[in-house]
Structure 1
Amino acid sequence: MNYSTLKKGVAASLVALVGVTSLASAQDAPATSSSAKVFGGRAQYRTWSLGVNAGVLAPVVVTGGANDYSNWDVNLGYGISLRKQLGHAFGLEANVFRGKVSGNNEKVGAPNNMFETELQYAADIRGVVNVATVDFLRRENSVNFFVTAGYGLAAYNPIVTASNGTVTNWKTLKEARGINDSYVKQAYIPVGAGIKFKVSDRVSFNLAYTMNFVDGDNFDGTYAKTPSNDKFSYTSAGLEFSLGSKSKPNLDWVNPLAMMYDELKDPSLRQEVEALKNRVANVEKSVEDLKKDSDGDGVADMFDKEPNSAPGAVVDGSGRTIKFPEPTTTAAATSSVTGFETIQFEFNSSVLKTESYPTLDKLSSILRENGGKVTVAGHASSEGTAAYNMKLSKDRANSVKTYLVNSGVNASSVAVKGYGETKPIASNDTEEGRIQNRRVETSRN
């Protein structure tokens, strides 16, 4: 093997390719930002790419094996490729390459001293898998490692020179026999690996090594070590150009983990999540409102026809009292109901508050057990007109009377009076005072 020639050939190829790469990079403007999503589909990316390559063809592979010739020469190979990226990690690639493969035997007296095979073409379809990257934590990958494997067909013509100087040209032999298609055709399996460098958004620089296993032992025109099929390798460097809209990113360089992180940090997505939380909170509040049972009778407020049922009362399905609770008032409780008992109300409301039920139950028990009469006096704070407040105070007094009568007190035992805002017990200049003035006072006669 001529190592000096090999070094010169590879060096010249790399210099030429890097020069073209730099020019393409300088002329290629950066693509506009993309709104590509993790699950947005292939339509949001560029998925086609065209490649050109050149390198060294040799009748040996790194995995070893039997070879018909002990030495091999450095020969130029060149080709093109067209790839369709189906996902960020996998694509299908069509390859066509040409060149020359040659070798010789050092040992004098070997049946065949040298060979030279003209490779008219080798065409194949390969699967390309992006297996790793050295910068997977970056927002955009710029270095990818890949492996390839596929199936193809090669057309070639071996020319063999024997040790005695006799030259055998397979193409000439076939033509002499009247065979028009004079090139030998054999299937082959390409298996390879490589590394890809992102030069710009549209251009990448690729280094690759491919072993090609021929389905026959006639690639070098010699059947010296049968049964063994021939093989040859292609070490190449090349440029790959991404095709398609400038506004779309290249699917080959997508980093799904980084994209997913960016989507989760997207302010608009976070706003949607917060809005969804608010909608859920509103639904939960609505459900709680539907379940609300202010008087504790087991019937929700929205269905309760009697929202102020006495504690312990038996009610029907509509919340109406059908049986009043048994009196539980003790002697101590009876003696505590003396003078005026105050019932408080909310602003502009005559609805009894649940906290007033115990006081009214005690008063009801006393009246039912001991008889007697009670005066119910309603009052109001100073908001609103005097006439409205007079009516409101009477409504409040009647609410207390209704409760007592519903609990079993004789209606004739309850006298109702309304005083409006005329008898405040605190200043109406403060909210604290006005709260105290919204009241009903009960006193036994």
Structure 2
Amino acid sequence: MKSILKQAAFSLTGVLLGSCAFAQSVTDPNYVKPFSGDAAFNTWSIGVNVGMLSTYTPLQNNSRQDFMSPQVALGYGLYIKKQILPSFGIQADYLGGKIEANNSAMRPAPFNNSAYNSVSTSLNYAVSLSGNYTLANINWHYKTTGIQPYFTAGGGFMGYKPVLTPSDGTAKVNFKNTDGGKISEFYVPIGVGFKLNVSKAVNIDLGYQVSFVNSDNLDGYNYSNNNDRFSYAHIGLEFALGSRSKPQLATHNPVNSMRDEYMMDEARLQMAIDAQKAQNDQLRNDLNAAKNEMNASLAKFTADSDGDGVPDFLDKCPGTPAGTKVDGAGCPLPAPVIQKPDVKVYVTEADRKIVKEAIRNLEFDFAKSTIRAHSFPSLNRVADLLKEKNFSLKLAGHTDNVGSNDANMKLSKERAESVKNYLVSQGANASRIEATGYGETQPIASNKTAKGRQQNRRVEFTLF
């Protein structure tokens, strides 16, 4: 039985260790336990990008713009982003560069000519705060996110300086004649794009942004009385901040984590089933072996050669005659003892007289429990009476009030015990004699006189 329990314990340990080993091997660096909080992810990131700035946007035909020939100029930007949810983050952007265009639109009569050949606007800064919405985490594989399309919208302030080149060949001029030609205005950036997740900490960012300026001053020329706008197409890199062991919240694929969790549970269950099956097979084999062993030993355990009901291997008295009653060891039981009926004995007046005489003759040494010799003959007759009729006797020792209560209580108890010891020494049954001391608590006469005190110094005999 112990071996069976031991094998069961080993099997259970194997299941637990196998489950732990599988849990460690099936997980990957992108795994996060489902429904974990933000602490399990990197939620901060920074990005840098470079691209093309232009007055062209897909929202308006070039012929409707102040300058009909948009040009491409270098732009650059950076941002920092805090991911709030897997699909939403807050992003602070900076953008700089130049915006250029040629061939201003024809002004109406009486001008009917092109006022400026070109414009070059220095975008000193454009800072904004935007919401970044991740539209989807597209999976090219089960475990990692491949592409993240996103959409951004926000608002901010930009500072710029438009410089115009007149068509009559005169020198370039600032659009604004004050503050060194610099202008600061509110603008609204709206963008789309997608990110390629090349590792846990790095994403390639491809995006296109259209910014709506809250004026018609960006190109330094008013033709259609529409607010200006410009676009920025860029490519860049995004770097996750934080522990390299954690995935980005924005790129995390919770479906994969739930899939891993499901696979781990399924594998653990299968391993537990397999281990239980192996354990059951082992237990079945052990039980069959034990059964065969028990069958082989059954004859030995049940053999009873003398037929007394006790198997031979326990029978300490083999060969007991048939019909003999035996004990658990197979040995004959002793013959039953026939109990004699109890004879009821009554206390007679003669018996009481013997006891009274013993009380009357009983004397002790002064303040001691030593019995004086002249009391022995009457006590001997009481001992003979107790032996002959198997009476019970109660001895109660008493004193007068001379001395302390404790001393009197002790002396009365010792005198009663002294009488008992003497009777036992003469052959009386000690179990039928009770000796008790009461001290001065139960006087039968006044302690104020010598005679009364003498009467109170006594040992009472009660025969029954």
Which of 46, 49, 52 is the matching residue for 1:53?
49
Which of 149, 157, 176 is the matching residue for 1:145?
149
AA at the equivalent of 1:45 = F
How far did residue 165 of structure 1 move? 3.2
Q: Measured at CA, do residues 102 and 210 of structure 1 come closer, stay the same or move farther in structure 2, by a change above 3 Å?
A: same
Q: Measured at CA, do residues 152 and 269 of structure 1 come closer, stay the same or move farther in structure 2, by a change above 3 Å?
A: farther
Indicate the residue corresponding to 2:216 in structure 1. Answer: 217
AA at the equivalent of 1:168 = V
Structure 1 position 90 matched with structure 2 position 88: yes
Indicate the residue corresponding to 1:37 in structure 2. Answer: 33
Q: Measured at CA, do residues 388 and 168 of structure 1 come closer, stay the same or move farther in structure 2, by a change above 3 Å?
A: farther
SS at match of 1:132: coil
Q: Say what the alpha-carbon RMSD is for the aligned residues.
A: 3.3
C-alpha distance in structure 2 between counterparts of 1:50 and 1:208, whole Å: 15
Q: Measured at CA, do residues 256 and 205 of structure 1 come closer, stay the same or move farther in structure 2, by a change above 3 Å?
A: same
C-alpha distance in structure 2 between counterparts of 1:43 and 1:190, whole Å: 31
C-alpha distance in structure 1 between counterparts of 2:173 and 2:29, whole Å: 61
Q: TM-score, normalised by structure 1?
A: 0.51
SS at match of 2:150: strand
AA at the equivalent of 1:187 = F
Indicate the residue corresponding to 1:235 in structure 2. Answer: 233
The answer as to whether partners of 2:137 and 2:251 remain within 8 angstroms in 1 is no
C-alpha distance in structure 2 between counterparts of 1:67 and 1:159, whole Å: 17
SS at match of 1:103: strand
How far did residue 34 of structure 1 move? 5.8
AA at the equivalent of 2:81 = R
Q: Measured at CA, do residues 264 and 160 of structure 1 come closer, stay the same or move farther in structure 2, by a change above 3 Å?
A: same
C-alpha distance in structure 1 between counterparts of 2:84 and 2:60, whole Å: 33
Alignment map for 1:94-243 (pairs within 5 Å): 94-105=92-103, 109-135=113-139, 138-166=142-170, 167-170=172-175, 173-175=177-179, 183-226=182-225, 228-243=226-241
Deviates more, 1:59-68 or 1:188-197: 59-68
SS at match of 1:139: coil
C-alpha distance in structure 2 between counterparts of 1:106 and 1:217, whole Å: 14
Aligned residues: 249
C-alpha distance in structure 2 between counterparts of 1:146 and 1:107, whole Å: 35
C-alpha distance in structure 2 between counterparts of 1:207 and 1:39, whole Å: 30
AA at the equivalent of 1:229 = N
How far did residue 97 of structure 1 move? 1.1
The answer as to whether partners of 1:136 and 1:255 remain within 8 angstroms in 2 is no
C-alpha distance in structure 2 between counterparts of 1:246 and 1:132, whole Å: 23
The answer as to whether partners of 1:32 and 1:246 remain within 8 angstroms in 2 is no
Alignment map for 1:236-385 (pairs within 5 Å): 236-267=234-265
SS at match of 2:67: coil
Deviates more, 1:106-115 or 1:232-241: 106-115
SS at match of 2:257: helix
How far did residue 382 of structure 1 move? 7.5
How far did residue 246 of structure 1 move? 1.4
AA at the equivalent of 2:237 = L
C-alpha distance in structure 2 between counterparts of 1:246 and 1:199, whole Å: 14
The answer as to whether partners of 1:148 and 1:193 remain within 8 angstroms in 2 is yes
How far did residue 218 of structure 1 move? 0.6
Indicate the residue corresponding to 2:381 in structure 1. Answer: none
C-alpha distance in structure 1 between counterparts of 2:114 and 2:310, whole Å: 126
SS at match of 2:250: helix
AA at the equivalent of 1:201 = K
Per-residue Cα deviation, 1:370-408 (whole angstroms, up to 9, x for no partner): xxxxxxxxxxx979997689xxxxxxxxxxxxxxxxxxx
Per-residue Cα deviation, 1:149-194 (whole angstroms, up to 9, x for no partner): 11111100111223223433135x1137xxxxx5211111111111
Larger C-alpha radius of gyration, 1 or 2? 2
C-alpha distance in structure 1 between counterparts of 2:43 and 2:267, whole Å: 27
How far did residue 101 of structure 1 move? 0.4
The answer as to whether partners of 2:191 and 2:207 remain within 8 angstroms in 1 is yes
How far did residue 223 of structure 1 move? 1.4
AA at the equivalent of 2:51 = G
The answer as to whether partners of 2:66 and 2:104 remain within 8 angstroms in 1 is no
Which of 39, 42, 59 is the matching residue for 1:63?
59
SS at match of 2:220: coil
Per-residue Cα deviation, 1:236-256 (whole angstroms, up to 9, x for no partner): 000111111112112222111
C-alpha distance in structure 1 between counterparts of 2:328 and 2:145, whole Å: 77
C-alpha distance in structure 1 between counterparts of 2:30 and 2:139, whole Å: 21
C-alpha distance in structure 2 between counterparts of 1:62 and 1:382, whole Å: 109
AA at the equivalent of 1:215 = N
Per-residue Cα deviation, 1:311-348 (whole angstroms, up to 9, x for no partner): xxxxxxxxxxxxxxxxxxxxxxxxxxxxxxxxxxxxxx
AA at the equivalent of 2:133 = V
The answer as to whether partners of 2:189 and 2:212 remain within 8 angstroms in 1 is yes
How far did residue 133 of structure 1 move? 3.9
C-alpha distance in structure 1 between counterparts of 2:79 and 2:310, whole Å: 92
Q: TM-score, normalised by structure 2?
A: 0.49
The answer as to whether partners of 2:137 and 2:253 remain within 8 angstroms in 1 is no
% identical aligned pairs: 34
AA at the equivalent of 1:211 = V
Following superposition, which runs of at least 4 residues in structure 1 exceed 3 angstroms of deviation?
A: 267-271, 381-389
C-alpha distance in structure 2 between counterparts of 1:189 and 1:269, whole Å: 52
How far did residue 85 of structure 1 move? 1.4
The answer as to whether partners of 1:129 and 1:146 remain within 8 angstroms in 2 is yes
Q: Measured at CA, do residues 252 and 213 of structure 1 come closer, stay the same or move farther in structure 2, by a change above 3 Å?
A: same
C-alpha distance in structure 1 between counterparts of 2:232 and 2:124, whole Å: 15
In structure 1, list runs of 5 or more residues that go unmatched: 1-30, 177-181, 275-380, 390-445
C-alpha distance in structure 1 between counterparts of 2:75 and 2:120, whole Å: 14
